Chains A and B, each alone.
Chain A
Amino acid sequence: MAEKIYNWLDERLGLEAIYGTVLDRKVPKVNWWFTLGSASLFLAGMQAVTGIFLTMYYVPSPDKAYDSIQYIMNDVAFGWLIRGIHHWGASLMVVIVFLHMLRTFFYGAYKYPREITWLTGTFLLLFTLGMGFTGYLLPWNQRSFWATMVGTEIAGTVPLMGDFILKVLRGGTDLSAVTLARFFSAHIWILPAGIVSMISVHMYLIIRLGISNIPSEEE
């Protein structure tokens, strides 16, 4: 029965073909460093799932943000777990994505024909850091407030445009309700949209080009 259903679906959806191209690829003899990209992908997925559920209770307004997080931590069943995974996963993801970049750098995997994989990767690193920066403000506690104060001030030291950049980030001169709302918007819509599109191109290229070999002495 299960096989019949599977065959029926496969005939129409081409499941075997998808499986073949996406997973049954030829891979050169590689090592554990090559798992870091998949680890990044897994963490991105984990952040997406836990983040989606956090928005069920989180409220991005200065008078409720802190209380809504207290509620998640103390009153919602497993709220501490969902937030904990999202919190620690964020730091872990930055580390893993960075290590993944180092591995592709030191193995020279960014060279022809993989320049665009690298390019989309640089955006992924920036967006991942952006997620960390915008997410840090959301709990609206003393630490997140002052960290964002300092962070936006650093952006403000850019020559000539600095003041303008600072105001765009904060949505005005002060770090305010407007800042919190736009950081939230960036954190749940703008940056994830960027990450999803960049991951799509990144993964398409990996499937299209295959994984590079470990460079050998003769090369």
Chain B
Amino acid sequence: MAKKASSPNLSRRDFSKIVMAFLGSIMGAFVGLPIIGYIISPALKTQKIDDWVSLGALDGYPIGTPKLFSFTRTKVNGWERTTNSFGVFVLRKSASDLVVLSNVCTHLSCRVKWIEENQAYVCPCHDAEFGIEGKVLYGPPPRPMDEYEFKIEDGNILIHLTEG
């Protein structure tokens, strides 16, 4: 920029410029910085699920055949509530020894069904079959069925639901 006639003192014009720039930056920061937080804040929210869900009395489950138990969980995303349904197969191997399996296929998340005559969980999507304890018998799934951690309290089965 062109040099003005130099004076040892700050000119009125330069003074105004500095004041303007200073106040402008403060105002810019006052709105600009909160806006950054405003944009990214939903990303910083943890939507962890860490619950023990009751599946009812242990005695309600037969020994030797898997029984499906379904329940729903509601999740809040912003201004929307989404209800997700869950299905778990409870297999009582003996009086107190259990396996609790998610009915979500480990291939592409279709819901599997227990088919008594095959003695397998069958996935309707790509014909996968899982053994009674969740092992892959046939088809594309990359891993056995997902198992839930469980505990038994006062004769009730509780499973540990975690996500996120």
Q: Which residues of A contact B (CB under 8 A)?
A: 3, 6, 46, 49-50, 53, 56-57, 59, 64, 67-68, 70-71, 75-79, 81-82, 85
Say yes or no: is B154 at the interface (Cβ < 8 Å to chain A). Answer: no
For the complex, what is the distance from the CA of A68 to the CA of B42, rounded to whole Å? 13
B-chain residues with CB within 8 Å of residue A6 when the two chains form the complex: 1
Q: Is the CB of B38 within 8 A of A79?
A: yes
Which parts of B1-24 form the interface with A (CB within 8 Å)? 1
Instruction: List the B residue with the shortest CB-CB distance to A57.
Output: B78
Q: In the bound complex, how far is the Cα of B39 from the Cα of A56, in angstroms?
A: 8
In the assembled complex, the Cα of A122 lies from the Cα of B37 at a distance in Å of 38
- Given the complex, which residues of B lie within 8 Å of A70, measured CB to CB? 79
Bound complex: CA A77 to CA B42 (Å):
8
- Which B residues lie at the A interface, using CB under 8 A? 1, 31, 34-35, 37-42, 44-45, 78-80
Contacts of A78 in B (CB 8 A): 34-35, 37-38, 41
CB–CB B79/A49 < 8 A = no
- Binding site secondary structure of chain B: helix
- Nearest chain-A residue to B35 (Cβ)? A53
Q: Complex: how many Å from CA A78 to CA B31? A: 10
With contacts A46-B31, A49-B31 known, is A76 near B38, CB below 8 A? yes
Known A-B contacts A49-B31, A50-B31; the reply to A68 vs B79 at CB < 8 A is yes
Which single residue of chain B is at the shortest CB-CB distance from A70? B79
A64 to B79, CA, bound (A): 7
Which residues of B lie under 8 Å from residue A59 when comparing CB positions?
A: 79
| Chain B positions within 8 Å of A49 at CB level | 31, 35
B78 proximity list for chain A (CB < 8 A):
57, 68, 71, 75
With known contacts A77-B37, A77-B38, A71–B79 Cβ distance under 8 A: yes
Give A199 Cβ to nearest chain B Cβ, in Å. Answer: 20
Separation of A3 and B41 alpha carbons in the complex (Å)? 39
Bound-complex Cα distance A57 to B34 (A): 15
Of B38, B40, B42, B44, which contacts A53 at CB under 8 A? B38
Between B1, B78, B80, the greatest number of chain A beta carbons within 10 A of the residue's beta carbon is seen for B78
B79 / chain A contacts, CB cutoff of 8 Å: 57, 59, 64, 67-68, 70-71
